[in-house]
Amino acid sequence: MLKAGKALKVSIYVSEGAKHRGVPVYSSILDFLFYRGVSGATVVKGVAGFGADHHMHSASIVEISDHMPLKIEFIETPEKVNEILGKLEDLAGTGMIEVQETTVAKPAQLTKARKPTPPEHLKIEGKAKMMRIYIGEADRWRDKPLHTALVEAMRANDIAGVTVYRGILGYGAHRRLHKDRALHLSHDCSIMLSAIDSEEKLQAFMPIVEQMVEEGLIVLSNVDIIKYAYRAEGLDQAEAFPSSPHAPTQGEQRP
C-alpha cells in the first residue's frame, strides 16, 4: 500500500485496437498491474490523436474508431516500478511509457464498513412537540411543490422526520371546497405535513417555515414520545424489527 512521500507516476500510451496475444493491450496491462499488487490504476480514452505513424485518429458519433489513444496511469513506489517495468515494456509493444517523479500527499485508504451511528435526534424521548403544516397541493416555492420543498428543508435542518398527508375533502380560509373524486383529481387538495422533534429544534426551524409558507396554517402541539424506533442502515427488516412485520421505514412517523 502506498504511503505519503516520494513515488513514481507511470503513464503508458497505447492504441485501443492494439493486441497482445489476442487480448487488448490495455486489458493485459491492467490485469498484470492488478495481480502484481499495484495500488491502483486508471485507463482513460482519448477522443483524437496520432502516434509514431503520424496517422490522425478521431472518434465520431457515426463511427467509433478502434485506433483511439489510451492511457494507463498508476502511481507506485520506485521499488515496485523498477520491479515490473521490464514486463510493462513487453506488454506495451509499440506504445510509449513515461515515468515521472511525484509526491503522494495523501494515500488512498481502504473503505471500512462502519456501524451506523444514530443521529442525535433519534435519542429524543418523553416530552416533545408536533408541528403540523396545512397548505394546498398547488402551492409552490421556487418552482417546486411547496410540500416537497418543506420536506427537503426539514431534512436539511436535521428534523427527526416528517410525513406528508393528502386530504380527500376539505376547505380553507377561502371557503372553497376541495374534493378528490375518482374521475377528477383536484390539483389543489389539502396537504398536511406532520413532524415531531424537540421544541428547541422546531422553534429554530420556524423562521424557515414562515418564510416558505405564504398562505396556510402552522400549529404546534405537545406530545409524549412513547417509543421512537428506526431501522438502521445495513440491517434487513427482520433483523431491525423482529416482532413487527409492518414496521415504519426510517424517518416515517405514525403519530
Q: What pTM value is reported for the model? A: 0.47
**How many percent of the chain have pLDDT more than 90?**
46
d(C-alpha 64, C-alpha 48), whole Å: 11
What element of type H or E holds 170? strand 169-171
Say how many Å lie between the first and final Cα of the chain, rounded.
52
Domain spans, the chain:
5-104, 120-240
Which class is domain 120-240?
alpha beta
- DSSP codes, 3-54: -SEEEEEEEEEEETT-EETTEEHHHHHHHHHHHTT-S-EEEEE-SEEE-TT-
Query: Mean pLDDT over residues 180-191, rounded?
Result: 60
Categorize the per-residue pLDDT at 245 as very low, low, confident or very high, splitting at 50, 70 and 90: very low
Q: Tell me the three state secondary structure of residue 17.
A: coil
Query: Mean pLDDT over residues 155-166, rounded?
Result: 90
Residue 22 has pLDDT above 60, yes or no: yes
Measured from the Cβ of residue 130, the count of other Cβ atoms closer than 10 Å reads 17
d(C-alpha 163, C-alpha 137), whole Å: 14
* pLDDT of res. 57: 54
Residue 122 has pLDDT above 90, yes or no: no
- Domain at 5-104: CATH code: 3.30.70.120
Domains 5-104 and 120-240 belong to one CATH topology? yes
